[in-house]
Amino acid sequence: MANMYCVKCRAKREDANAQPVTMKNGKPAMKGKCPVCGTAMFRIGKA
Instruction: Say if CB 35 and CB 18 are below 8 A apart.
Output: no
Q: What is the pLDDT of residue 19?
A: 94
Instruction: Say if CB 42 and CB 31 are below 8 A apart.
Output: yes
Q: What is the pLDDT of residues 21-36, one digit of tens each?
A: 999 999 999 999 999 9
Residue 47 has pLDDT above 90, yes or no: no
Q: What share of the chain is helix, strand, coil (3-state, %, to 5)?
A: 0, 55, 45
What Cα–Cα distance (Å) separates residue 39 from each residue in 10, 20, 24, 31, 45? 11, 17, 22, 11, 20
Report angle CA 1, 9, 33 to the nearest 5 degrees: 40
**pTM given for the model:** 0.76
